[in-house]
Amino acid sequence: MSKIKQYSFLLWPLVILLITFSAFIFKPWQTTPKDTISVTATGKTQIIPNIAKINATIQTTNPDLDQAREENSQTVSGIVTSLENLGIENKDIQTQFINAAPGYEPEILIYPTQPRPNTNQVSTSLEITIRNFQISEEVLSALTSGGATNLYGPNLTVDDTTLEEAKSRARESAVEAAKEKAQELAKLSERKLGKVASVSEQGDFGVPIPLSVRSEEDLSTQATQIQPGQNEVTITLSVTFEVK
C-alpha cells in the first residue's frame, strides 16, 4: 500500500510536467489566421419624397421699434392662422429666428457717404413643413399674400420611417451583390466561400434641388414646379468573407 502511495506521489509531477510541455508545443491559445476575401458592393433604391420644407421671412419696418415689432408679430400671427386653416399642424410651423435692427439711408451731401438710421426693421423667419403636397400651392400663396417678403424652398425629403425602409431595401440589394462578387472571386481562386467575418456600411441619400421664390409674381410662374419626383437611396457595404 505504501509503494502505491509512493508511486502516485512520483506520478503526479510527471503528469503535470507532461501537460505543461504539451501546452508549449501545441500552443492551443494561439489561433491560425483564417483566409478571407473582401469585397465592396452597392445597393440602390428609389424613394419618393413625402415632406417639403419651406422657409419664409416676414419683415416689417417702422421708425418706432416697438411698433415694428408689433406689426411683425401681427403679420406672423395671421400667416400662422392661415396655415393652420389649410391643415398645417402647429408642430410643423417652427420659428427659426427673430431679428431686429435699424434701417439706413445714405447721406448724399458728403463723400464718402455716411449711412444714418431712418427706420427700424424686424424680421421673423419661419420653417413650414408640408406633409400633403396637394396643398403646397395654397401654402405658398398664403405666405406671400399674408405678408412674407422672402420664400426659400421647397427642400424635399422623407420621414424617418420611409427612409429606413428604403435603406433596408438598398441594404438587401448590396448584400446580394456582395455575395455574388465574393462567390465569383472564390471560384476563380479555387476556394469555397465561408461565413461573413465583418461588415461596414456607408450611405448616400441624395440632396434635392430647392426652388427659390421671392415674390408673388415668381410664385405664379414657379409654384406648379413643386413636384416630389424621386430620390435615390444608396447603401455601400464592405464585406469580408472567410474562404476555405
Residue 92 lies in a domain: yes
Alpha helices in the chain (DSSP H): 2-26, 65-85, 136-146, 160-188, 216-222
Residue 214 lies in a domain: no
The SS3 call for residue 217 is helix
130, 183: one domain: no
58, 43: one domain: no
Provide the domain count of the chain.
2
Among the listed residues 110, 109, 120, the one whose alpha carbon sits nearest the alpha carbon of residue 66: 120
Contacts by residues 101-107 (CB-CB < 8 Å, ≥ 24 positions apart)? 103/61
138, 200: one domain: no
Q: State the residue range of the domain holding 123.
A: 51-157
How far apart CA 148 and CA 210 sit, in angstroms, is 18
The SS3 call for residue 214 is coil
Burial of 52 (0-12, 13-18, 19+ CB in 10 A): buried
Cα dihedral 40, 43, 44, 45 in deg (nearest 10) = -160
pLDDT tens-place values along the chain, 244 residues long: 455 555 555 556 666 666 665 555 555 555 666 788 899 999 999 888 888 899 999 999 888 888 999 999 999 999 999 999 999 999 999 999 999 887 765 555 555 655 555 678 899 999 999 998 888 889 988 999 999 989 987 888 888 898 889 889 999 999 999 999 999 998 898 888 888 888 888 866 554 444 444 444 454 444 444 556 677 888 999 999 988 8
Looking at residue 94, which CATH number applies to its domain?
Answer: 3.30.70.2970
Residue 13 lies in a domain: no
**β-strands 114-130, 51-62 pairing:** antiparallel
176, 103: one domain: no
Residue 16 lies in a domain: no
pTM, 2 dp: 0.62
How far apart CA 212 and CA 224 sit, in angstroms, is 13
Residue 23 lies in a domain: no
Predicted pLDDT of residue 122: 93
